[in-house]
């Protein structure tokens, strides 16, 4: 297994974090941060999220 890799990440089944299409949310993951806009279905996709063996929490904020 590689020591790190990147993925596009789309959180699904968010029960209490509702996003409308085109709404922008801020995210943090370890030392990285950025923003992402919801698509036409209200789905957020975070591009090029670097994943390593070090545990980190992904936080989304409106």
Flag whether pLDDT at 1 surpasses 90: no
pLDDT at 14: 87
pLDDT at 10: 95
Each residue of 19-57: pLDDT tens digit? 999 999 999 999 999 999 999 999 999 999 988 888 999
Residues spanned by the domain of 43? 4-61
Q: How many structural domains compose the chain?
A: 1
- Please give the backbone phi and psi of residue 57, each rounded to the nearest 5 degrees, phi first: -105, 130
Mean of the pLDDT values across residues 1-5?
Answer: 78
Q: Which helix (H) or strand (E) holds 44?
A: none
CB 42 within 8 A of CB 21: yes
């Amino acid at each position: 297994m590689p020591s790190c890799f990147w993925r596009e990440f789309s959180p699904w089944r968010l029960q209490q974090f509702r996003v409308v299409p085109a709404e922008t949310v801020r995210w943090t993951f370890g030392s990285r941060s950025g923003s992402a806009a919801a698509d036409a279905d209200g789905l957020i996709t975070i591009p090029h999220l670097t994943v390593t063996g070090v545990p980190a929490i992904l936080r989304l904020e409106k």
